[in-house]
Each structure stands twice: as C-alpha cells, then as structure tokens.
Amino acid sequence: MKTVIGIDVGGSTTKIVGFSPSGDLIEPFFVRANDQLTSAYGALGRFTAENGIDLATVEKIMITGVGSTFLSQPMYNIPCKHLVEFPCVGLGGLYLSGLNRAVVVSMGTGTALVYAENQKECRYLGGTGVGGGTLLGLSKLLTGMHDIDAIIESAKNGDLKKIDLRVSDITRNDIHPDLAPDLTAANFGKVSDLADKNDITLGLMNMIFETIGMQAVFAARSCGVRDIVLTGNLSTILQAASVFDALNRLFDVNFVIPPRSQFATVIGAALTAREEQG
C-alpha cells in the first residue's frame, strides 16, 4: 500500500489529510485562499513537505468539496478521484467517533445530515441552509461583526436571558413532561432593550445550534439511532458543546463532538481510497 491523500476544497479554505502506507492518520490541517486552485496546490505542497512525503509514493489523491470541480487534471501527475461529499461526511464521522452507526451532521456554511453505518452505508438525509453562513451574515447585519473569531469572543460575555423566551417565562406550571423550564420557547422572542452585541451573538449561536440540533434529533429518531456525530467548522466553536449537552439531556440522544471534528469530510475522502486499496 502507498500513501493516500484527501483534499476537501471549500469556498475559502482547503483541508488536507493523509493515511500512511501502514494505515496511520497523517495529521490534517487547512489553508486559506480565495482561489481554489491556489489553495489546493498550496495545501498539497505544504502537506508533503512538512511530513516528508515523496510525491512518487502517493497512490492517489481523493478530492471532494464544493470547489473540487476547479481541479480537473491530475496534480503533479498523481491521479485524482473526485468524490461526492456526503458519503465522505459519513465515513469520516464514524472514523473519528469510533461508532459503527450514527447520524453524522456536517455543520459548515450550511448543514447536511447523513446516516452512516459500518463505514459502508452512507445515506444523505437532507439538510438546511442554517449554518456558519447564517451566523456570519446575521452577525454582520445585527452587530457589524463578520469575523468569526470576534463573534466567538463576543458571545463569551453574552446573556441569553436578554434574548430568548424560555418555557419558564410563559408558564409556572408543567405543560408537558418533555417541556423543561429552560427549554427555548422562541429564539429572539424576548429581546431586551438592554441587550448588547455580546447578547446578540450568543443568541445567534444558540438559535443556529438549536435549529441544527433539533433537525438531527428528528433524523436520529427516524433512523432508530441515539448517536449523533457533529462535524464541520461550527462543531469546534466553544459555545456548541453546552447547547448540545442540553439537548442530550432533554431528548435522550447522544451528541458527540470528536477530536478533529472539523476534518471529518476530508478524512472520509482519504478513507475511501484506503478502502479501495483493500
């Protein structure tokens, strides 16, 4: 067996990973560039140089992502295979989580949900336009901030009590056993005149994560599973863990954010080549 490399070409970032001939994961990373060709070739050059990989030892390059169509020729005479993104999401999610069966959620600019089983079956379940693009766009409109690091830092000091309407705000009695008092009744349904940018950015994150989370809960129930693996860039945001932990308790599911979750799709692409090698 030879080294296999996976590349996930996005709109503004390109992610790359590899598996050594012995089957060991070569640590992934990403590069930013406005041009997809520049970012893909730059990622490959840096990846092989930093890991001491001779291009002659690379079996093939597996390419996926929305920008992969810009790469129509072999890279440095290495055969390239273009892959549909959704199976890569499922394969990568199972690999990173160590699970055999789960709903895998890719939280990027938008959100996709995939049912995956035994690293063989991957079925696209649907998705939503709510995702990282929503966070950046609404934050720009409502707070003037469009930088993701600034948004995350701002949300650390936010207070949801100034933004969201909770079940406890509208009733003192238990309406239903499944409706916990701290459950959101309406995102942005209780915006205080005292709410500032920090409160708004936290409210946006909470709305996006809860929307994605509830779609994932419904998908998991329809597939008869409890495990839901969260992947993609949004899964690495600090505030995500607390929102999904709360959904775990409320809906008896198991949201998992594995290490390297942002690289699930590109890892799944490289895994496809490894499976083809036997």
14 and 144 inside one domain: no
Q: Examine the fold and report which residue of 35, 50, 82 is the final residue of a domain before the chain moves on.
A: 82
65 and 186 inside one domain: no
pLDDT of the residue at 156:
97
**Full pLDDT tens readout for the chain, 278 residues:** 689 999 999 877 899 999 999 989 999 999 887 788 888 999 999 999 999 999 999 999 999 988 888 887 889 899 899 999 999 999 999 999 999 999 999 999 899 999 999 877 899 999 999 999 999 999 999 999 999 999 999 999 999 999 999 887 777 666 556 666 778 899 999 999 999 999 999 999 999 999 999 999 999 999 999 999 999 999 999 999 999 999 998 899 999 999 999 999 999 999 998 666 55
Q: Examine the fold and report which residue of 82, 112, 143 is the final residue of a domain before the chain moves on.
A: 82
134 and 249 inside one domain: yes
46 and 93 inside one domain: no
25 and 151 inside one domain: no
Instruction: Evaluate whether residue 248 is within a structural domain.
Output: yes
pLDDT of the residue at 187:
95
Amino acid at 178: D
Domain that holds residue 149: 89-260
94 and 69 inside one domain: no
46 and 156 inside one domain: no
Instruction: Evaluate whether residue 31 is within a structural domain.
Output: yes
Separation CA 232–CA 85 (nearest Å): 12
Q: How far apart are the first and last CA of the chain?
A: 9
Q: Examine the fold and report which residue of 82, 105, 140 is the final residue of a domain before the chain moves on.
A: 82
67 and 160 inside one domain: no
- The answer to whether residues 223 and 253 touch, using CB atoms and an 8 Å cutoff, is no
pLDDT of the residue at 243:
94
For the whole prediction, is pTM greater than 0.85?
A: yes
pLDDT of the residue at 256:
98
Rg (CA), the chain: 20
Domain count, the chain: 2
Residue 188 has which token pair? 């942005």
Question: Cβ atoms within 10 A of the Cβ of 267, count?
Answer: 27
- The answer to whether residues 151 and 135 touch, using CB atoms and an 8 Å cutoff, is yes
pLDDT of the residue at 177:
61
Q: Domain with 69 in it: what CATH number?
A: 3.30.420.40
